[in-house]
């Protein structure tokens, strides 16, 4: 399909009128409060892009429909207990995700997100990213899939789930329909969790190489979010919204530092990149209120190979164009367009995003960073047992602890909750009686250990609290193995999947064994 550079073409009067009406509806429509049951009436993001003459050619979301007339599938989940899959669709008018269907299907086990369906009708679905310039940690060198319940939100007062990308997780479509190639113009936006990021390469959403390899400068054009400074950065310590154009994360016209690109910290972050012949822009804003700011709008970078561009038209999420997969982030919704969208169109899209009331629910029973806690098992056999480290070796185990236990046993079952060493959105557990040593998994067994500065060790010692598998307390997901949870088995403690190949992956009592009540500390 030929893509017309709309910024060089007059907008027809009828199209202009349609855009004005759509913008008025988006800006004046009622906002949804956190407890409301319906979104603001009016056109949704892809309706607004179409009215502006730059229609969506890919539209992905696990939280809601992006067209007012869309009533199809949003995403697919796969259940660990039996490998069954289920498509998650929308709930009636205005198309919020049917999170209850996921909760019912995944009850008592875990699920992974296997497909993000394209709502545009072009079939640009995102699936598990294959190996490329970098191998992924899953079988065959593929990337991991996201745990389906790891990023709960509410939108329009309805429960939904985002896509929680831990390092090693990624999605891709290398055979697309209608995505810009070469120097053709395009636009894109994504709604991210602005507090979930790292300095790994590269948490992207957008246009990439079709062979999962680095094919040279200008062969991709994607939104990047994070705080890596290797190629480009802005003011402060980050994170920044930048453009990944291959062999360069650009914060403005020059490689490296650009003063016009600020650090951002919105819980829900709207990030936009658009590009055409010798013209590109970065814009961003708070996904809960207010408008968009323009961080850069001008000619292609002042570096060789980016004018003209050589975009290839694949779509990536959570990874770089060559499958570099050391990044972290959370994705809720995003689109790619045919043509270079106007600022007015993007402003209308931002107004719609803020109108639907994205909010982050608190997780009941989760541990608080800085607190001292003990972790009680919930399996019927072991409700007086607590997670502790052994005194004879470094391994973690469960054992009965009571008011009559020795001071040493109480201390061994007490943990100091720290911000996640490998992912600040999660937690790490420092041993109360072995300062500087943390709970970590090693060959799947949990133990206490001194953690060095390596990314792997820090992720091994990081666990992400989420709703428990049996309705009691919380469950703790491994930060770098999305389908593995902290589990007690035969009194040892492991990072365990549901029904995997190891003894400790046994499906028997898995939901109970992976659920923990956070209690007051024994010491």
User: pLDDT tens-digit profile of 316-353?
Assistant: 999 999 999 999 999 999 999 999 999 999 999 999 99
Rounded to an integer, the average pLDDT of 158-172 is 97
Task: Give the sign of the dihedral formed by CA 477, CA 478, CA 482, CA 485.
Answer: negative
> How far apart (Å, rounded) are the C-alpha atoms in residues 352 and 209?
31
Residues of the chain with CATH 2.80.10.50: 371-519
> How far apart (Å, rounded) are the C-alpha atoms in residues 518 and 503?
26
**Helix (H), strand (E) at residue 14:** helix 13-28
Query: Across the chain, what does the average pLDDT equal?
Result: 92
**Helix (H), strand (E) at residue 243:** strand 240-244
- Is the pLDDT reported for residue 29 higher than 70? no
Rounded to an integer, the average pLDDT of 360-366 is 94
Q: How does strand 232-233 pair with strand 256-257?
A: parallel
What is the pLDDT at residue 4? 30
- Is the pLDDT reported for residue 6 higher than 80? no
Task: Give the sign of the dihedral formed by CA 138, CA 139, CA 142, CA 148.
Answer: negative
> Contact, 6 vs 340, CB < 8 A?
yes
State the catalytic residue, choosing from 186, 246, 333, 484.
246
pLDDT band at 37 (very low <50, low <70, confident <90, very high): very low
> How far apart (Å, rounded) are the C-alpha atoms in residues 385 and 187?
55
Rounded to an integer, the average pLDDT of 138-155 is 97
Distance from CA of residue 123 to its chain's centroid? 22
> How far apart (Å, rounded) are the C-alpha atoms in residues 298 and 193?
27
- Is the pLDDT reported for residue 265 higher than 70? yes
pLDDT-wise least confident of 37-51, 95-109, 170-184, 393-407: 37-51
> Contact, 127 vs 138, CB < 8 A?
no
CATH number of 45-356: 2.60.120.200
Q: Report the DSSP beta bridge partners of residue 268.
A: 193
For 192-222, the pLDDT digits (tens) are 999 999 999 999 999 999 999 999 999 999 9
pLDDT band at 157 (very low <50, low <70, confident <90, very high): very high
Using omega within 30 degrees of 0 as the cis cutoff, is the peptide bond preceding 234 cis? Answer: no
Nearest to 285, CA basis, from 270, 274, 273, 263: 270
What is the pLDDT at residue 41? 54
To the query of whether residue 343 is one of the catalytic residues in this protein, the response is no
What is the pLDDT at residue 28? 41
- Is the pLDDT reported for residue 389 higher than 80? yes
For 411-433, the pLDDT digits (tens) are 999 999 999 999 999 999 999 99
**CA distances, 239 to each of 196, 235, 246, 262, 331 (Å):** 9, 9, 19, 8, 15
> How far apart (Å, rounded) are the C-alpha atoms in residues 155 and 360?
9
> Contact, 199 vs 458, CB < 8 A?
no
> How far apart (Å, rounded) are the C-alpha atoms in residues 476 and 103?
17
Q: Mapping DSSP to helix (H, G, I), strand (E, B) and coil, where does residue 239 land?
A: coil
Nearest to 365, CA basis, from 463, 476, 447: 476
Contacts of 392 (CB under 8 A, 6+ apart): none
Rounded to an integer, the average pLDDT of 288-296 is 98
To the query of whether residue 246 is one of the catalytic residues in this protein, the response is yes
* The CATH classification of domain 371-519, taken from the options 3.40.50.970, 2.80.10.50, 3.50.50.60, 3.30.300.30: 2.80.10.50
Q: Which residue has the higher pLDDT, 32 or 59?
A: 59
Nearest to 516, CA basis, from 319, 383, 318: 383
pLDDT band at 93 (very low <50, low <70, confident <90, very high): low
pLDDT band at 85 (very low <50, low <70, confident <90, very high): very high
- Is the pLDDT reported for residue 376 higher than 70? yes
State the catalytic residue, choosing from 322, 333, 449, 505.
322
Rounded (5°) CA angle 55-283-46: 20
321-350 as b/e, with b when 16 or more CB fall inside 10 Å?
A: bbbbbbbbbbbbbbbbbbbbbbebbbbbbb
pTM, whole model, 2 decimals? 0.91
For 437-491, the pLDDT digits (tens) are 999 999 999 999 999 999 999 999 999 999 999 999 999 999 999 999 999 999 9
Rounded to an integer, the average pLDDT of 166-172 is 97
- Is the pLDDT reported for residue 9 higher than 70? no
The share of the chain scoring above pLDDT 70, in percent, equals 92
């Amino acid at each position: 399909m030929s893509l017309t550079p709309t910024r060089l073409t007059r907008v027809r009067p009828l199209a202009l009128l349609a855009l004005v009406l759509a913008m008025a509806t988006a800006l004046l429509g009622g906002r949804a409060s956190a407890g409301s049951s319906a979104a603001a009436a009016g056109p949704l993001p892809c309706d607004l892009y179409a009215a502006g003459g730059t229609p969506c050619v890919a539209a992905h979301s696990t939280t809601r429909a992006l067209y007012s007339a869309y009533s199809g599938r949003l995403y697919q989940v796969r259940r660990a207990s039996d490998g069954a899959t289920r498509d998650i669709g929308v709930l009636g008018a205005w198309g919020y995700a049917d999170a209850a269907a996921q909760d019912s299907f995944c009850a008592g086990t875990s699920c992974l997100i296997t497909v993000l369906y394209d709502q545009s009708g072009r079939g640009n679905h995102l699936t598990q990213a294959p190996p490329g310039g970098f191998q992924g940690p899953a079988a065959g060198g593929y990337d991991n899939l996201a745990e389906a319940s790891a990023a709960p939100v509410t939108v329009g007062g309805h429960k939904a789930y985002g896509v929680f990308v831990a390092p090693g997780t990624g999605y891709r479509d290398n055979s697309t329909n209608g995505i810009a190639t070469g120097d053709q113009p395009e636009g894109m936006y994504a709604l991210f969790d602005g507090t979930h990021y790292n300095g790994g390469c590269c948490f992207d959403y957008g246009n990439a190489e079709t062979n999962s390899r680095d094919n040279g400068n200008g062969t991709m054009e994607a939104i990047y979010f994070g705080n890596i400074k290797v190629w480009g950065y802005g003011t402060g310590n980050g994170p920044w919204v930048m453009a990944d154009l291959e062999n360069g994360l650009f914060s403005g016209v020059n490689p490296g530092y650009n003063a016009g690109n600020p650090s951002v910290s919105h819980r829900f972050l709207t990030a936009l990149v658009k590009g055409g012949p010798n013209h590109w822009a970065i814009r961003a804003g708070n996904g809960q209120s207010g408008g968009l700011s323009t961080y850069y709008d001008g000619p292609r970078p002042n570096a060789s190979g980016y004018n003209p561009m050589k975009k290839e038209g694949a779509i990536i999420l959570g990874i770089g164009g060559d499958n570099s997969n050391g990044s972290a982030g959370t994705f809720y919704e995003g689109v790619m367009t045919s043509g270079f969208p106007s600022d007015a169109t993007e402003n209308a899209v931002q107004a719609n995003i803020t109108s639907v009331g994205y909010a982050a629910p608190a997780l009941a029973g989760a541990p608080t960073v800085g607190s001292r806690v003990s972790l009680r098992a919930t399996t019927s056999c072991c409700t007086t047992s607590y997670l502790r480290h052994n005194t004879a070796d470094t391994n973690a185990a469960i054992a009965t602890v009571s008011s009559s236990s020795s001071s040493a046993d109480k201390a061994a079952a007490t943990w100091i909750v720290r911000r996640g060493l490998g992912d600040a959105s999660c937690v790490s557990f420092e041993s109360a009686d072995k300062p500087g040593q943390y709970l970590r998994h090693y060959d799947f067994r949990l133990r206490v250990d001194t953690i060095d500065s390596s990314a792997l060790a820090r992720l091994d010692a990081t666990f992400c609290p989420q709703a428990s598998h049996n309705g009691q307390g919380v469950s703790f997901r491994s930060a770098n193995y999305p389908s593995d949870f902290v589990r007690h088995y035969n009194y040892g403690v492991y990072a365990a999947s549901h029904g995997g190949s190891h003894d400790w992956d046994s499906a028997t009592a898995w939901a109970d064994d992976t659920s923990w009540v956070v209690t007051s500390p024994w010491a």
